[in-house]
Amino acid sequence: MPNKVNMADKTQNLLDVLKLQPVVPVLVVDDVNSAVLLARALVAGGLRAIEVTLRTPAGLDAIRAVADQVEGAVPGAGTVLDAAQYEQAVDAGSQFIVSPGTTLELLDYAKTSSVPMLPGAATASEVMALREEGYKVLKFFPAEQAGGASYLKSLSSPLADMMFCPTGGINLKNANDYLSLPNVVCVGGSWVAPKALVQAGDWDGITTLAKEAFELAN
């Protein structure tokens, strides 16, 4: 098994990515060609860190295309469920890995990779378990369904050294409810790339949404 990679360095690398902007776009990509144009539109609006989920067959190819063709983009892979997907996502050019939850297999593989993981957690026990593994930054998912901003705020006192990127049900109207919390570094959201605008090829419209998201208070 490869040597373990320094956890503190990976945490800092992850924070450097997440602090690029208040909102990380979460993309479900059906077409690789549109992924490049979409990513360029998001970067033009200030959203450089982009999570491309592996929910579609085009996911890995989209990450590879964004990594190769979109200047200024920092591509990451979302919905990573196992070690094989982790490895494939890194090979495709992912600079960060996002998972909706956590498994022992994922944790073991993450220890061998220099590419940081943002693991998902929804309860205090899950947060504590990941804290024991050395994680300081987690994805709070599904945010709205798991208790929303008020729930996450309640974790800030007993788990004061943990930071979160809430994702799930977040939009322009409620994003600042999360961004105003002391334990939130950024939020994840799909509203900056609505399917209708992508299908219409309205990249200027997406850039406008990205600019609005970039300007949110953090």
Residues tagged active-site: 51, 139
Place of tokens 């945490």: 11
Dihedral angle over CA of 52, 92, 56, 166, nearest 10: -30
Retrieve residue 36's tokens. Answer: 């490049």
Burial of 199: CB neighbours in 10 Å, binned 0-12, 13-18, 19+ = exposed
Cβ 102 vs Cβ 121: under 8 Å? yes
Distance in angstroms (rounded) separating the CA atoms of residues 89 and 121: 21
Dihedral angle over CA of 168, 59, 83, 140, nearest 10: -10
